[in-house]
């Protein structure tokens, strides 16, 4: 298939480019480079030995999308493009709704006009809010606590409405998949690609990695009094290449099945690790100390979040195969050989 990848220069999108190319698919990348650089795509070419078109433009630009769909025969779209920082979304909600919600609406309108019906959307475990228990299945109630999470839930609801409208009219046009990611970490095993956050990282793993290379002094562990075995927050960290491969499986599923409902899959490992366990695992992989101090809880954080990924296993034949040690080794290989990320 020829797949349009919005946000394809970003962290998860660029790794998914590799997984798709390695499965024999063709790709067209569409990205405004607001949080990425073209170097990631040069690395995709270097690793796969394959070339592909790259369009630098914005998903909110309908004319730009029209011209891509007219010039390239696209079979499906994977929609990664969007803003993802929870804190920033509280300060700039309009920017988040414009990029994440309006961007998706405009993309869907353009797809419909060009009769492209298959879309895979990057959602997040954030749509489960503060879950009543773990592990989290796809049937858990949905709620959000910040504009970023709200934007993901709004898009999910819009996609469900598109399917419902199809069912009402008996048209069966859309084939829609929603992937709810847990916490993506790690990097491609080559050490050529990985996560390259701008400024001070918000997320745990890039923060730990930058402490280990000496770019940052020490990690603040947010909260030591959660009702968890060691008092620290627990998350389901998943290797970015496992996540990428989940997208290929979801694409295969949608192309083989004529679905009449929005398909939703959790992409996680089913294992939860605490912040402290992550620090220890990173120290073991890197042989570098990661100094830390326990500080107060970060506003909006929850104690525990980990997936029941059995639906994806059952329906997609997908299971995360890379363990915590591999996640850490790959993250370290990337960070230590590219201390300044793609600008190294
Ligand atoms: P990223 O910032 O590395 O990648 C997003 C890409 O989209 C970037 O290359 C950016 O330049 C591009 N982009 C942003 N707005 C755009 C627009 N309006 N038009 C065109 N391109 C645009 O982020 P990521 O970690 O790769 O995340 C990809 C997707 O997965 C996002 O939708 C994010 O919300 C979602 N997600 C990420 C995580 C995570 O922890 N990384 C967790 C759950 C869900
Ligand atoms: N943490 C620290 N110190 C830090 C950063 C994080 O102790 O400097 C802790 C957090 O308190 C949390 C854990 O590390 O317990 C993970 O935090 P992240 O910021 O890496 O990830 P979150 O689980 O908060 O959120 C991430 C993405 C969201 C996404 C969610 C999905 O940032 O966008 O995963 O599960 F919605």
Buried b / exposed e along 77-116 (16+ C-beta atoms within 10 A): bbbbbbbbbbebbeeeeeebbebbbebbebbbebbeeeeb
One-character DSSP codes across 255-301: HHS--SS-EEEEES-S--EEHHHHHHHHHHHH-----EEEEPPPTT-
- Give residue ranges with CB within 6 A of ligand 2: 84, 86, 124-126, 182-183, 202-204, 207, 219-222, 233, 235, 275, 298, 301, 305
The number of residues in the chain equals 344
Tell me the Cα Rg of the chain. 19
* CA of 243 relative to ligand 2 center, distance in Å: 17
**Stretch 197-204: mean pLDDT:** 93
**Distance in Å from the first CA to the final CA of the chain:** 34
In the predicted structure, residue 124 carries a pLDDT above the cut 90: yes
Domain positions in the chain are 2-343
Tokens (6 digits) for 3? 């797949």
The pLDDT score that the predictor gives to residue 90 is 94
Number of the ligand closest to the Cα of 79 = 1
Ligand closest to 56 (CA) is: 1
Q: How far apart are CA 64 and CA 110, in angstroms?
A: 10
Per-residue pLDDT of 316-326, as tens digits, reads: 999 999 999 99
pTM recorded for the entire structure: 0.98
Instruction: Examine the pLDDT at 337 and tell me if it is beyond 80.
Output: yes
Which of 144, 97, 88, 139 has the alpha carbon at shortest distance from 302? 144
Q: Is 334 in the pocket of ligand 1 (CB under 6 A)?
A: no
Q: What integer pLDDT is reported at residue 344 of this predicted model?
A: 73
Residue 251 has pLDDT above 80, yes or no: yes
Structure tokens given for 314: 């059952």
Q: How far is the CA of 168 from the centre of ligand 1 (A)?
A: 33
Query: Which residue's CA lies nearest to atom 1 of ligand 1?
Result: 10
Name the residues annotated as catalytic.
148
Topology classification of domain 2-343 = Rossmann fold (3.40.50)
Placement of tokens 């009769």 in the chain: 115
The arithmetic mean of pLDDT across residues 212-216, rounded, is 92
Residues 230-246: pLDDT tens digits? 999 999 999 999 999 99
CA of 23 to the centre of ligand 1 (A): 23
List beta partners, residue 279. Answer: none
With a cut of 80, say whether residue 101 has pLDDT above it: yes
Q: What is the mean pLDDT of residues 104-132?
A: 98
Bridge partners (DSSP) of residue 4 are 28, 77
């Amino acid at each position: 298939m020829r797949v349009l990848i919005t946000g394809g220069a970003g962290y998860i999108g660029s790794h998914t480019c590799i997984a798709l190319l390695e499965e024999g698919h063709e790709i067209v990348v569409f990205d405004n480079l607001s949080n990425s650089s073209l170097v990631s795509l040069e690395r995709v070419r270097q690793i796969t030995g394959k070339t592909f078109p790259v369009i630098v433009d914005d998903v909110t630009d309908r004319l730009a999308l029209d011209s891509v769909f007219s010039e390239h025969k696209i079979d499906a779209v994977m929609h990664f493009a969007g803003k993802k920082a929870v804190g920033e979304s509280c300060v700039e909600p309009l920017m988040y709704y414009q990029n994440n919600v309006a961007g998706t609406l405009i993309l869907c309108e353009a797809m419909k006009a060009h009769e492209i019906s298959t879309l895979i959307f990057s959602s997040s475990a954030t749509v489960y809010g503060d879950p009543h228990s773990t592990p989290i299945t796809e049937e858990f109630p949905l709620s959000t606590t910040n504009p970023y999470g709200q934007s993901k839930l709004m898009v999910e609801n819009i996609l469900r409405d598109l399917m419902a409208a199809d069912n009402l009219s008996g048209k069966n046009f859309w084939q829609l998949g929603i992937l709810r990611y847990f916490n993506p970490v790690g990097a491609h095993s080559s050490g050529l690609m990985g996560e390259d956050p701008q400024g001070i990282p918000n997320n745990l793993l890039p923060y730990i990695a930058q402490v280990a290379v000496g770019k940052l002094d020490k990690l603040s562990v947010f909260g030591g009094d959660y009702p968890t075995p060691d008092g620290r927050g627990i998350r389901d960290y998943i290797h970015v290449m496992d996540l990428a491969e989940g997208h290929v499986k979801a694409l295969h599923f949608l192309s083989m099945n004529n679905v009449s409902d929005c398909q939703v899959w959790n992409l996680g490992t089913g294992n939860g690790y605490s912040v402290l366990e992550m620090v220890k695992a990173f120290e073991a992989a890197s042989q570098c100390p990661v100094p830390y101090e326990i500080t107060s809880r970060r506003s909006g954080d929850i104690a525990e979040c980990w997936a029941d990924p059995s639906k994806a296993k059952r329906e997609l034949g997908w299971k995360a195969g890379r363990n915590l040690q591999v996640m850490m080794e790959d993250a370290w290989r990337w960070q230590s050989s590219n201390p300044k990320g793609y600008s190294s």
